[in-house]
Chain A
Amino acid sequence: MSAHVKATDFEITGFAGEPHDPPGFIRTYIFSTDHKMIAKQFLLMSLVFLLLGGTLALVIRWQLGFPGSPLPGGGVLPETMAPGGIILPEFYNSLVTMHGTFMIFFAIMPLLVGVFGNLLIPLQIGAPDMAFPKLNALSFWLAVPAGFIMLASFAVEGGAAGAGWTSYAPLSASGEYTGVYLGQQLWLVSLFILGFSSITGAVNYITTVITMRAPGMTWFRLPLTVWALFVTALLALLAMPILAGALILLLADQTIGTTFFLPATGGEPLLWQHLFWFFGHPEVYILILPSFGIVSEVLSNGARKPIFGYHAMVLAIIAIAFLGWIVWGHHMFMSGMNPMLGTTFMLTTVVIAVPSAIKVFNWLGTLWRANIHFHVPFLHSVAFVSLFIIGGLSGIFMASAPVDIQIHDTYFIVAHLHYVLFGGSLFGIFAGIIYWYPKMFGRMMNRTMGYIHFAGTFVFYNLAFFPMHNLGLQGMMRRLYDPNQYEYLAPLQGMNTFISYSVFALFAFQLLFAVNFLSSLRFGKKAEKNPWNANSLEWSVASPPPHGNFHGWPTVYRGPFEYSVPGRDQDFHPQWEPPDGEVAPRMAGSPAPEPTGFSTGAHEEEES
């Protein structure tokens, strides 16, 4: 590129290490534009919502395990929710709705996209920050009010939304049906704001990955986390606006008397399901793809072997993301949809098993004959793979329309979605948090507590959710207030009680994680630069990294998975280490080479 272009280009000299005014408290901790701080803010917010969602799950399980008996400590709840601690059916509807909403939109999604997207994208591609740091801060500060509005809806008249996290119309389209007016409207407004937050985040991630990769960081040297987050951002960018549009239409039905989804005056309730699931199925992959990336990274690190089939992994991510757009109808087999469409959606859904299986076999191939280091994040990753397989297999049951007729809207679905969202996404998140905790906070999490938390979670997770398959096959409906209302479900009460006890134990182990997380902030072992002996760029800088991350642009020499390369003393070969015999070309302050961007040599020729 020509000289004058460079002059107006990045001001490389201004990076960390140069003296500049330290930002004040508010700019550092509240309205920060530093991607690492925003990642920590997202982490705090979403862990709080994870805890809240978990608490709602406890209340749900109390009602199912011990129907009709007063909730311990439930006396503090107002008469409209649980008089004398006995949970009302209307409140139970709100509970299941808000449990789903909190977990999906305010816990898992910000944990995966908000936390790891913000933390890892700039660090792993070698950039000083995001492309639009202020937009990044805006993205967080839109998510917070969205969360508050959602929380506040519990306190309004009529209670929180009670039409399920999918808010099917016409149930959700008019307060007459559920008795919830304002709560449902707040639900819609809150998700609209959250959608806007996701879109601003996605614009940022996509632009950053395209234009701000360090020199040498070609597309096929990107760590798989970045690939997964990039594709996820594309999905969020394209799917969230669909939800936003649908929410607006539903809100108009609720407030100004339009009739998009109300059949009595000419609307089409099925249109809501089509719009919602056209968003909703890509959303499912938003919730799992980043975990795929994290797990690939951690598995390869623990196995000390290159990830098996890097290119296949990338292509599988892209294939899953594309196929995710043409399968939404498999949520609607029982909706009265055109049966010919049902067959189409059944076929496309089964096709998704192919890229998913490619990923699973590649993970197994990575572990095959490896000299494994069983660190805590590695264990979580292995749990992810095994539980994701179970979740994926139960998915195939539901993908075939004839089988789905039997198990639609039963606890089989609940089991399936918890196997992919808890067993999948959340185990990936645990792996990610523990793995990058030293990079975020400069200290290691306690290993002993980590092992105990892992073992307890794995065991009680399976005890809680595996029996749900059985409940579903025996016909227990999801969102059911009291199984004893039906004679044929009464014999299942023992199993329900057992599940409830398992969930309580599962929750207790999550408190151990919280204790570990908080106490390690203070008492954890100080982390070195590269505690896991890993290859990607974030491990080349101090823990936690300074403002601006790198001194200028780091140079990248190889892919991120070069473990156990023959003929080297170390069993890892970092991306930033020059080939033997070469000296790193630059020190801080010297002119930096151009970042890679989308560039090819040809374009740079044209410029000069």
Chain B
Amino acid sequence: MTHDAKAHPPYMLIWGILAILMFAKVAVSLVGLPKWLSVTLLVIISLVSALLVALYYMHLKFEQKRVWVLAAIPLPLIAIFLLLVMQEFR
């Protein structure tokens, strides 16, 4: 650990935020917003939640930048695949 083992990340705080975000998602989904708006909001909220899990629970925030590079390797591949194949079915 590069960080002090005694000082933990704010685990419970993150938990609270994740729970709120999750219920926010359910609300957005069921409240009947226009499709484009609800999809955009849902995607943003879930990406934020996923990022929080990766940063704090998986400790990515406290790792060296090299681990970030490693963890980021699949991201461009996912983007390329989805974007190109979606052209197919446009």
Contact = CB atoms under 8 A, between A and B. Distances in A.
A/B: CB atoms within 8 Å of each other: yes
Interface of A: 234, 238, 268, 270-271, 274, 278, 325-326, 329, 337-338, 340-341, 344, 598, 603, 606
The interface size bin for chain B is 10 to 19
Contact of B73 (A238, A278, A341, A598): A238
Contacts of A341: 84, 87-88
Contacts of A598: 66
Given A238-B74, A606-B2, A338 B90 contact: yes
B81 interface: yes
Nearest to B76: A325
A268 to B, nearest CB: 7
Given A234-B73, A325-B77, A338 B88 contact: yes
A340 B77 contact: no
A341 B89 CA distance: 11
The residue among B2, B74, B80, B84 with the most chain A CB atoms within 10 A of its own CB is: B84
Given A234-B73, A238-B73, A238-B74, A325 B80 contact: yes
Contacts of A268: 89
Q: Which secondary structure characterizes the binding site on chain B?
A: helix
A325 B73 CA distance: 12
B62 to A, nearest CB: 13
A238 B77 contact: yes
B72 interface: no
A278 B79 CA distance: 12
B84 A329 contact: yes
B81 A278 contact: yes
Given A234-B73, A238-B73, A338 B87 contact: yes
Contacts of A329: 84
B7 interface: no
A340 B87 contact: yes
A341 B88 CA distance: 8
Interface in B47-90: 64, 66, 73-74, 77, 80-81, 84-85, 87-90
A577 B77 CA distance: 42
A173 to B, nearest CB: 18
Contacts of B64: 603
A340 B86 CA distance: 12
Given A325-B80, A326-B80, A598-B66, A274 B85 contact: yes
B36 to A, nearest CB: 24
A598 B81 CA distance: 31
B22 to A, nearest CB: 26
Contacts of B90: 338
Contact of B88 (A234, A238, A326, A337): A337
A326 to B, nearest CB: 6
A274 B83 CA distance: 12
22 contacts: A234-B73, A238-B73, A238-B74, A238-B77, A268-B89, A270-B88, A271-B85, A274-B81, A274-B85, A274-B88, A325-B77, A325-B80, A326-B84, A329-B84, A337-B88, A338-B88, A341-B84, A341-B87, A341-B88, A344-B84, A603-B64, A606-B2
Contacts of A325: 77, 80
Contacts of A606: 2
Contacts of B74: 238
A261 B73 CA distance: 29
B23 to A, nearest CB: 31
Given A338-B90, A341-B88, 5 more contacts: A238-B73, A274-B88, A326-B80, A329-B84, A341-B84
A504 B83 CA distance: 47
A474 to B, nearest CB: 32
Contacts of B73: 234, 238
Contacts of A338: 87-88, 90
A270 B90 CA distance: 13
Contacts of B87: 338, 340-341
Contacts of A340: 87
B83 to A, nearest CB: 10
Contacts of B81: 274, 278
The residue among B66, B81, B88, B89 with the most chain A CB atoms within 10 A of its own CB is: B88
Contacts of B89: 268
B9 to A, nearest CB: 20
A270 B84 CA distance: 13
A340 B81 CA distance: 15
A261 B11 CA distance: 43
